[in-house]
Amino acid sequence: MEKKLAVRGLTISFRTTNGRVHAVRNIDFDLMKGETLAIVGESGSGKSVTSKAILGILAGNAIIEGGEIIYDGKDLLKISEEDFHKIRGDKIAMIFQDPMSSLNPIVRIGKQLTEAMILKGKARQRENRHNFNTTLGHLNKAMIEAIAPHDSAKAAELTKMCKDFDHFESKHISLESAYNVAHEAALEASEEIEALNFELEKKGAKDIPYRTSQIAAYVKHSFHEYMVRDRKAEAEKLLEGISSLTNTKKFGDDLPALRERLVKLGEIENEALALEKPDFMAMGYCLTFGNEALPSLPVHDLNTYMEEKMNREFMDHFMECTEKAMQHAADVSNAEKEKAIEALRNGRHVFANEKLEHGACEAAIRPMEEAVEKTINKLDLIKDSLAYTFGPGMKADTKKYFDSIKKNEKERKRYAREKKRYDAKTAKGKTLDYVVVPAAITDLDMVQSDLVHQIDRLEEHFTDALAKRDQRDFHKEAQDMVEYLQHSASGAVNHVTKRLAKSRAIKLMSEVGIPEPRKRYTQYPFEFSGGMRQRIVIAIALAADPDILICDEPTTALDVTIQSQILELINDLKARRNLSIIFITHDLGVVANMADRIAVMYAGKIVEYGTSEEIFYHSAHPYTWALLSSMPDLDTKEALDAIPGTPPDMLYPPEGDAFAARNKYAMQIDFEQQPPMFKITDTHYAATWLLHPDAPKIDPPKVITDRIERMRKKNQGGVING
């Protein structure tokens, strides 16, 4: 599975008047493509801070003490605000906890929904065009290098082939988008007709004239060569009949007549929707380069004919060349990797020294960075994030190291001075209402080991890649490449108009369960209830079609049915758009269905993580047990196992396990030493001394085991909700 996001050693604290609040303390996790990672914990456990760090919206007093967040080959903690604009909202979107404060009170809902679509639509079009052009350019160059390095005539031929591909691909997209508009309109018409028919049957229909006019508009947009063509005249006649019916003043007696016409119209649209879709890529090719007109055949036969023609004349050759080019690029990159490993080995000793020297370090970084940069294969669709981040990461850490030497000295002096003054005052018997802010000293050894670790990790990564060089399937990669090019091309051609944005917004609104979306579209946020507002917020987050969706307690403010609907919606969207989701919540019950993996956070640390089954059926950390047993389910009768006390003050994080003070299974060592992450299975880890071989064996609380047993019986019996 492709790794979408990697968080390593993230440590964040907040500067406050009372001192430093250690909000997040050295956490690691990965997010794979198309999976949901749930982060569960109480308020103040640092789960929201983590998500805000990923989105780059931490408060001004936050200090990122260490770690990295890698997305798409970039470290999000180190990129500029300018670069972040391209990621925030577009690639990584967020649904906030409080729907009251995340909407603009003086802008209509419709505008707020479409704003991002229109703005991002333009930016995305530019970006896609750029992607298409550069990737095709790289491909072309690689082709020439691979097939005809010294033959200029052959090279020109290859360049022409790439240009031809560009040419007919744009024809393909414009044909397809026209078809899509008609198809979408037909779909909407059919849905609307069905809804109206149903309500007419139940005698509960409202706004009939308005809705029929909407239907008429959809039907008219669905007229297309490959959608509604043969029965166009009939549909037009039906529409006329409907409008003459609804336009009369005394309307209301002719409902059966109206229904009859609607049913017929629905039939026409459904029939059109059932038609086979032509292969527009092949059609684009035939229309651009085929010198004769298209033969008049049924769509199915036409597709086979066109496909054959395209493959024979162009595509087979193109794919072959692409495959060769990609193989060549990979070979070049591998050769460079061997050199880079050498360079890394040469440079490593400079950083492994007892004491670092500024000049030597900078001099050592340069050749390493250059060697690593050369290994980057521009034709790789999955970017090699370690290679991309190596140079900037090394430079930033070196800078941090040498800056900290001076800063540490200053901090120490300040602390000594203030402490002296404080002690002098308290010695006189005063009770002071402030505390001395402890010195913020950067651990130089840690920074240095980080530097060495970066080099070692990259070397290992390269060695790995070289070992696996023969396992790559270039035929498959070439197909992916063509698919990627088509995807970028469609992004570049399809632009978002206001009309399109509105219809999409209305669709989104009904998707997130807002009744009468057309009426709601022009209303202001204050006209919505809390639950409805949250739906709007979700719709806005989805409007830009993001890669990663961060949900920060999205259903905490909603009631059960709506919560269930929203969770289903998020699951559905995840499957359909292959989204990666970070789902933050304090309610374990909510994530049972949502999460593929769960990380339980307490006091700024991940205390346990594993797959959903592992956390619910085989949890190992006392805090997870406490969370699971403190909430009632439908069969709970006895008193709840409440967790005593409150979470610790993160100004002074406890020495050992942070949960020790509230933990009834705590041992002496829990108060003294922080437990490491013990591995239970390949995917399941927990940080508790109970897993140490010397620890006494403690079973999970009876409440949990009983529940698991009970649910197992229920599941086998297949009885759900009585």
Partner 1 sequence: MDKNDREVLLKVEHLCQYFGPTKAVDDVSFEIHKGEVLGLVGESGCGKTTTGRSIIGLYDITSGNIYFKGQRIGAGTMSYKNAIQEAREEKKNCQDAARIKELDEIISRNQKELKEAKGLKKKVDKKLITQIQMIFQDPIASLDPRMTVKEIIAEGLIIQGEKNKAVIDEKVLKMLDMVGLVPEHAGRYPHEFSGGQKQRVGVARAVIMEPELIIADEPVSALDVSIQAQVINLLNELREKLGLTLLFIAHDLSVVKYFSDRIGVMYFGHMVELAPSDELFLNPLHPYTRSLLSAIPLPDPEYERKRKRIVYNPLAEHDYSVDKPTFREVKPGHFVSCNQAEYEKYMKILR
Residues that bind partner 1 (CB under 8 A): 42-43, 198-199, 202-204, 529-531, 558-565, 567-568, 586-590, 592-593, 612-613, 616-617, 626-628, 630-634, 636-637, 639-644, 646, 707-708, 711-712, 714-715, 718, 720-722
Least distance (Å) between residue 38 CB and partner 1? 11
Task: Give the nearer residue to partner 1 in terms of CB position, either 361 or 600.
Answer: 600
Least distance (Å) between residue 532 CB and partner 1? 9
Least distance (Å) between residue 40 CB and partner 1? 9
CA distance 197 to 193: 6
Task: Give the nearer residue to partner 1 in terms of CB position, either 159 or 197.
Answer: 197
Least distance (Å) between residue 550 CB and partner 1? 20
Least distance (Å) between residue 194 CB and partner 1? 13
Residue 309's alpha-carbon distances to 165, 276, 306, 314, 505, in angstroms, are 15, 20, 5, 8, 40
Least distance (Å) between residue 720 CB and partner 1? 6
Q: Are 541 and 549 in contact (CB under 8 A)?
A: yes
Distance of CA 299 to the CA centre of its chain: 38
Angle of helix 702-717 versus helix 622-629 axis, rounded to 10: 60
Task: Give the nearer residue to partner 1 in terms of CB position, either 310 or 600.
Answer: 600
Which of 364, 438, 435, 372 is closest to 397 using CA atoms?
364
CA distance 41 to 604: 9
Least distance (Å) between residue 307 CB and partner 1? 40
Backbone angles phi, psi at 583, to 5 degrees: -115, 115
SS (H, E, C) 666-719: CCHHHHHCCCCCEECCCCCEECCHHHCCCCCCCCCCHHHHHHHHHHHHHHHHCC
Task: Give the nearer residue to partner 1 in terms of CB position, either 19 or 391.
Answer: 19
Task: Give the nearer residue to partner 1 in terms of CB position, either 209 or 632.
Answer: 632
| DSSP secondary structure string for all residues of 462-522 | HHHHHHTGGG--HHHHHHHHHHHHHHHHHHHH----HHHHHHHHHHHHHHTT-SSHHHHTT
Task: Give the nearer residue to partner 1 in terms of CB position, either 256 or 718.
Answer: 718
Task: Give the nearer residue to partner 1 in terms of CB position, either 209 or 644.
Answer: 644
Task: Give the nearer residue to partner 1 in terms of CB position, either 146 or 196.
Answer: 196
Residue 238, judged by CB atoms within 10 A of its CB (0-12, 13-18, 19+), counts as: buried
Which of 3, 130, 124, 52 is closest to 543 using CA atoms?
124
Task: Give the nearer residue to partner 1 in terms of CB position, either 205 or 287.
Answer: 205
Task: Give the nearer residue to partner 1 in terms of CB position, either 111 or 714.
Answer: 714
First to last CA, the chain: 39
Which position has the token pair 């649209």?
A: 269
Task: Give the nearer residue to partner 1 in terms of CB position, either 201 or 443.
Answer: 201
Which position has the token pair 């009251």?
A: 100
Least distance (Å) between residue 434 CB and partner 1? 17
How many CA atoms does the CB half-sphere of 156 hold within 13 Å? 2
Least distance (Å) between residue 124 CB and partner 1? 34
Q: Are 692 and 678 in contact (CB under 8 A)?
A: yes
Least distance (Å) between residue 622 CB and partner 1? 12
Task: Give the nearer residue to partner 1 in terms of CB position, either 492 or 627.
Answer: 627
Distance of CA 368 to the CA centre of its chain: 32
Least distance (Å) between residue 631 CB and partner 1? 6
Least distance (Å) between residue 59 CB and partner 1? 19
Strand 36-40 with 580-585, pairing: parallel
Q: Are 14 and 572 in contact (CB under 8 A)?
A: no
